[in-house]
Structure 1
Amino acid sequence: MWFPHYRLNKSMTYFARYLPILDWGRRYDRSAFSNDMIAAVIVTIMLIPQSLAYALLAGLPPEAGIYASIAPIVLYAIFGTSKALAVGPVAVVSLLTASAIGQVAETGTAGYAVAALTLAGLSGAFLVLLGVLRLGFLANFLSHPVIAGFITASGILIATSQLKHILGISAHGHTLPEMLGSIGAHLDQINLVTVVIGLSATGFLFWVRGSLKPLLKRLGMGPLMTDLLAKAGPVAAVASTTMAVWIFDLHGVGVKIVGDVPQSLPPFTIPGLSPDLIKTLLVPAILISVIGFVESISVAQTLAAKKRQRIDPDQELIGLGAANLGAAFTGGFPVTGGFSRSVVNFDAGSETPAAGIFTAIGLTVAALALTPLVYYLPNATLAATIIVAVLSLVDFSILRKTWGYARADFIAVAATIALTLIMGVEVGVASGVGISILLHLYKTSRPHVAEVGLVSGTQHFRNVKRHAVETNPNILTLRVDESLYFVNARFLEDLVHSRVTAGCDIKDVVLMFSAVNEVDFSALESLEAINLRLIDMGVGLHLSEVKGPVMDRLKKSHLIGDINGKVFLSQYDAWVSLTR
């Protein structure tokens, strides 16, 4: 009688792998519901002005930000594995969106909105494909220093792009020189009332972020209410400036406002299927997917580690892909897991992805009931919200840290920052990927190979340059500290040749493979070339401490049979055998 029950559990386990909601949903209880609801209220309050602001940054109508925060959140809750990640529009992805679709359509046109839907659809499809093929590891090719450099440069570009709204002028540009040049050329258009609103909102938001919470704590307010009021700072800025514009009719003196926002649920939309449009947006969609995934997975893993929870990177790809596909069919634009709102979600006590579903419900209510209230919302306030949010991303300390630790990483960071600022975000992303790969290839092309000797009184071998060790002039032992493949195979070949020259005393060369996890075919050919050269010189070639999988592969070749020496289980065995 247990067999049907067993099969049911096995089926549930299989489906739960791809639908994590089946896993955490079975254990959902009243306590989790209460905590998730509280977190959802706080995140919703924070997300309303953020969504409007990031839509503005992407060059889309403000309602697109709300739409992009409803269906994607629900879909991620179904397919994602993080219990705290809050999905929706984020600053860097919104900037990338504006840069990509600005090349194919004019801002404010129907073609621009369709391009945004198509970009989200392509990004979603690419992420799902990577997840199904379990290729999440590809994101590891973007090094953290390069990502930090790109995000720092993007933060500067985003903040600069919003200065036109703070000043009330018309300006354009996708690179820092273009933006600054355009702003300088339009300074005669400055609207002083807009400047007052923008600077006041910016100063207030900075004060809220840095000083409000400590002040409320000193006043004896509880932690929950303190968090709620601190996160409601942007809402207060939105409400006060909107009231000011309405009461004093500031729109009539040139203050630009949001205007009409449709009072409706997210519409059903269809991305553009034009081959030319898809071809144009395919590469930007891939870049957005990679950057969004790296940002999202780093946040998710950081928060999960605090509660000893596990994140499945491949399933995260599917979750984020589903979220972007949801945005594509509900009037949104590309989304990913946001750092600030995810931290807020975590700190507010979110226990399951259901908090995201409750947040989506709150945003749906806002879309139906609150949108008329933002008619007089000044663009300067939304710009202030963006500036305060993105300046926290700017971290020039990464330059100092990499300069002191590894100059190659410093060059990669500096180049990424410079290229992003001077040539734009797409070039910055592409160069960041390229620099990361080149940096990896450069480092592995020159593997660390140490000449080692015996530590007296032990069976351990250490680098002759770092330790006082015993050596034998007739034996050269090289410890290879890297897997051998086509990029670095010739390096080892040249190194052995340079050490074993005509007339030297070396009779045996031992390659210590304790750190070698892989030997590809190019490296095998180099080992065979080393062996043939040493045979001609009358020198023996030996291997020691070869790992099982590597030995299994080598046994399939002619090397082991042709080698001019032996394969030793340990380096000490080689030492004892060859010094007799």
Structure 2
Amino acid sequence: MKLSKLLPALDWLKTYSKSDFQQDTVSSIVFTIMVIPQSLAYAMLAGLPAVTGLYASILPSILYSLFGTSRILAVGPVALTSVMTASVIMPSAVSGTEQYATIAILLALLSGVFLLVLSLLRLGFLTNLLSHPVISGFISASALLIVIGQIKYLLGIQSEGDTLIPLTTSLFAHITDINTPTFILSVVSISALLFVRRNFARFLKYIGCSVKIVQLFGKSGPVIIVAITTISVAVLSLDQDGVSIVGAIPSEIPSINPELIDLEMIWQLLPGAFLITIVGFIGSVSVAQSFAAKRRQDINPNQELVGLGLANIGSALSGAFPVTGGFSRTVLNADCGAKKPMTGIFSAVFILLILLFLTPLFFYLPKAILAAIISISMMQLVNLEDLRYLWRFSRKEAILLLVTFFIVLIDGMQSGLIVGVILSLLFFLWHTSHPHIAIVGRLPGTEHFRNVQRFSVETHPSILTVRIDENLFFANARSLEERLQGLVSQNKEIKHLVLMCTAINMIDASALQSLEKIADRLNDAEVQLHLSEVKGPVMDKLEGSDLIKNLSGKIFITQHQAIKELEEKQANT
């Protein structure tokens, strides 16, 4: 095996130039400045000290840059995995305690191990169990819960709970305790953030900044708002009036305290850790593939498991929480002009320098501005268009989205995701257990065969051709038996039944037994069974079976050949 497959960084490092270095350095500085408020906010979202978001942005970013295959994906704290982390830990520990921090680190470690195991076993396909409606409903509901959870910081009140009913009940119970300075700061912050998001790039153009400056700093407006609010809190001593601030940042990086962990706790965390792993991986690979397609680059999903697995282990070693590749973080990285994964390494170094020398600047950072940043970002993830589209396209999938959405809101993220996956599998089993079976005939003047209910086709009264549009296995074997038996019993003129196997790619033992029963019953009814267009892998399985040994009819290469020969046979009888 080539060393570059184990360490993809070797590929891009071979062609890394001085101009790349200069571009990545500038991009990394801008990216670091802009991503710091987001990282602090997402740590708070996970129920951890804000500075933990910076811990989670250093070693994970370096490790992914070296072992991941995406040239642009930015790995670090992400809103969804952050809130999932909080929802997994809250039943076992209280936010702000040593036990809470220990469990968060353990979750990152478990997630990293899960990702590496999935890579070794090449089980990345398990992520396919999450269908689009499930993911859409899950993300929309989670985003809504996140926004509701941030209201307590925006109003300066106390609130408990991690699902809709406890959250709203707690908020209403404390609504009279609103802290006026915090509320004013929140309103001003949200208004300012929305304004600069839409107009800051225009403002830079208006004052005569170059296109390059606008591209680099056009989205840096939130950083200015963060700086202004922090200075305002410090100058006006708003913390003395009840405005909650980040406060002193601890100099020691937290670590796992073995005394606070036992096997029972680890066992309880495994389902939550696995869900965080799957959701994080799906989101990360989706983002990586979308950007890779735009840049005509390749993504290796199995190596992505390795890169993200090592990133999470790195996060655990840093005293942080589960991380993954984030959409907003990656868009920010691309907008800053990142060309190579070196930007991930440079930005990690810059964040480390900030942690070492500039942490006092975060003392007066108000939690309200972080909550405002989170809320604005999350509201963009509440997607009503998906529901409208699915309601027109597939009511079943729209219902699946709604069920996932409401269960996440009412009973939590884990329950919603599990129920969504189970319903997806049940819908799949229902669909495959009721295969589309069409009676087909020949289009006049051609060798093509189509559904008699959709096209004007030629048929023969004593020849019935049935096309099965599904693989044959235990779930639909009985349905196939009943349908074929019904078709034959309804038409006494039928002498030949041809199974057109164009769409059958797989057959299992249960389906084979059903076909053997069908053949026996047809033989008793003096109807010959024929097969046409059987694919090689399916034929390999059928050879040597009792079905082939006792087949009353023939196996035809093409459907046209079958009909031509059988029509001639009927004409001569």
**TM-score, with normalisation over the residues of structure 1?**
0.95
Q: 1:173 to 1:268 in 2, by over 3 A?
A: closer
| Distance in 1 of aligned mates of 2:237 and 2:491 | 94
Contact 1:73 1:357 in 2 (8 A): yes
Secondary structure class of the residue paired with 1:453: strand
Q: 1:376 to 1:495 in 2, by over 3 A?
A: same
| Distance in 1 of aligned mates of 2:336 and 2:425 | 38
| Distance in 1 of aligned mates of 2:210 and 2:497 | 71
| Distance in 2 of aligned mates of 1:218 and 1:431 | 52
| Distance in 1 of aligned mates of 2:549 and 2:16 | 62
Does residue 95 of structure 2 align to residue 91 of structure 1?
no
Q: 1:445 to 1:41 in 2, by over 3 A?
A: farther
Q: 1:101 to 1:535 in 2, by over 3 A?
A: same
Aligned equivalent of 2:211: 223
Amino acid at match of 1:200: V
Contact 1:42 1:231 in 2 (8 A): no
Contact 1:155 1:391 in 2 (8 A): yes
After TM superposition, give the deviation of residue 322 of structure 1 in Å. 0.9
Does residue 231 of structure 2 align to residue 243 of structure 1?
yes
Contact 2:37 2:226 in 1 (8 A): yes
Structure 1 residues 380-429: Cα deviation after superposition (integer angstroms, max 9, x where no partner) = 01100111111111111111000000111101101111111111111112
Contact 2:216 2:335 in 1 (8 A): no
Contact 2:197 2:222 in 1 (8 A): no
Aligned equivalent of 1:442: 430
Aligned equivalent of 1:390: 378
Does residue 161 of structure 2 align to residue 167 of structure 1?
no
Aligned equivalent of 1:456: 444
After TM superposition, give the deviation of residue 502 of structure 1 in Å. 6.2
Contact 2:111 2:277 in 1 (8 A): yes
| Distance in 1 of aligned mates of 2:241 and 2:225 | 20
| Distance in 1 of aligned mates of 2:447 and 2:457 | 11
Aligned equivalent of 1:128: 116
Secondary structure class of the residue paired with 2:268: helix
Contact 2:65 2:341 in 1 (8 A): yes
After TM superposition, give the deviation of residue 87 of structure 1 in Å. 0.6
Aligned equivalent of 1:24: 12
Contact 1:534 1:541 in 2 (8 A): yes
Aligned equivalent of 1:6: none
Does residue 30 of structure 2 align to residue 42 of structure 1?
yes
Aligned equivalent of 2:268: 280
Q: 1:345 to 1:231 in 2, by over 3 A?
A: same
Does residue 470 of structure 2 align to residue 470 of structure 1?
no
Structural mapping, 1:175-574, within 5 Å? 175-217=163-205, 219-263=207-251, 274-501=262-489, 504-574=492-562
Structure 1 residues 217-272: Cα deviation after superposition (integer angstroms, max 9, x where no partner) = 455533332233333222112111111111111111111111011356x5665777
After TM superposition, give the deviation of residue 209 of structure 1 in Å. 2.1
Can you give the 5+ residue segments of structure 2 that lack an aligned partner in the other structure? 569-573
Secondary structure class of the residue paired with 1:510: strand
Secondary structure class of the residue paired with 1:121: helix
Q: 1:529 to 1:97 in 2, by over 3 A?
A: same
Structure 1 residues 446-495: Cα deviation after superposition (integer angstroms, max 9, x where no partner) = 22222111011110111111111101121111112221222222222221
| Distance in 2 of aligned mates of 1:536 and 1:343 | 67
Contact 2:391 2:398 in 1 (8 A): yes
| Distance in 1 of aligned mates of 2:23 and 2:261 | 42
Amino acid at match of 1:316: E
Secondary structure class of the residue paired with 1:236: helix
Is 427-436 or 562-571 further displaced after alignment? Answer: 427-436
Contact 1:270 1:328 in 2 (8 A): no
Contact 2:226 2:365 in 1 (8 A): yes
After TM superposition, give the deviation of residue 190 of structure 1 in Å. 0.2
| Distance in 2 of aligned mates of 1:228 and 1:195 | 32
| Distance in 2 of aligned mates of 1:431 and 1:111 | 29
Structural mapping, 1:54-93, within 5 Å? 54-93=42-81
Secondary structure class of the residue paired with 1:231: coil
**TM-score, with normalisation over the residues of structure 2?**
0.96
Contact 1:80 1:320 in 2 (8 A): yes
Q: 1:353 to 1:536 in 2, by over 3 A?
A: same
Secondary structure class of the residue paired with 2:57: coil
Is 340-349 or 360-369 further displaced after alignment? Answer: 340-349
After TM superposition, give the deviation of residue 351 of structure 1 in Å. 2.2
Structure 1 residues 503-534: Cα deviation after superposition (integer angstroms, max 9, x where no partner) = 62111111111111111222212211211221
| Distance in 2 of aligned mates of 1:503 and 1:363 | 78
Contact 1:478 1:512 in 2 (8 A): yes
After TM superposition, give the deviation of residue 215 of structure 1 in Å. 4.1
| Distance in 2 of aligned mates of 1:42 and 1:550 | 58
| Distance in 2 of aligned mates of 1:553 and 1:199 | 68
Amino acid at match of 1:460: H
| Distance in 2 of aligned mates of 1:122 and 1:329 | 12
After TM superposition, give the deviation of residue 273 of structure 1 in Å. 5.2
Is 56-65 or 519-528 further displaced after alignment? Answer: 519-528
Amino acid at match of 2:425: I
Structure 1 residues 79-124: Cα deviation after superposition (integer angstroms, max 9, x where no partner) = 1111111011111111100010111111111000000011111111
Secondary structure class of the residue paired with 2:198: helix
After TM superposition, give the deviation of residue 210 of structure 1 in Å. 2.5
Contact 2:106 2:256 in 1 (8 A): no
Q: 1:252 to 1:115 in 2, by over 3 A?
A: same
| Distance in 1 of aligned mates of 2:524 and 2:261 | 65
Secondary structure class of the residue paired with 1:543: strand
After TM superposition, give the deviation of residue 564 of structure 1 in Å. 2.0
| Distance in 2 of aligned mates of 1:534 and 1:210 | 71
| Distance in 1 of aligned mates of 2:404 and 2:161 | 19
Can you give the 5+ residue segments of structure 1 that lack an aligned partner in the other structure? 1-10
Amino acid at match of 1:371: T
Structure 1 residues 307-330: Cα deviation after superposition (integer angstroms, max 9, x where no partner) = 111111111111111111111111
Contact 1:473 1:505 in 2 (8 A): yes
Contact 2:141 2:382 in 1 (8 A): yes
Aligned length: 567
Structure 1 residues 49-90: Cα deviation after superposition (integer angstroms, max 9, x where no partner) = 111101111110112111111111111112111111101111
Amino acid at match of 1:394: V
Q: 1:36 to 1:523 in 2, by over 3 A?
A: farther
Contact 2:70 2:288 in 1 (8 A): yes
Aligned equivalent of 2:571: none
After TM superposition, give the deviation of residue 343 of structure 1 in Å. 1.5
**Identity among equivalent pairs (%):** 49
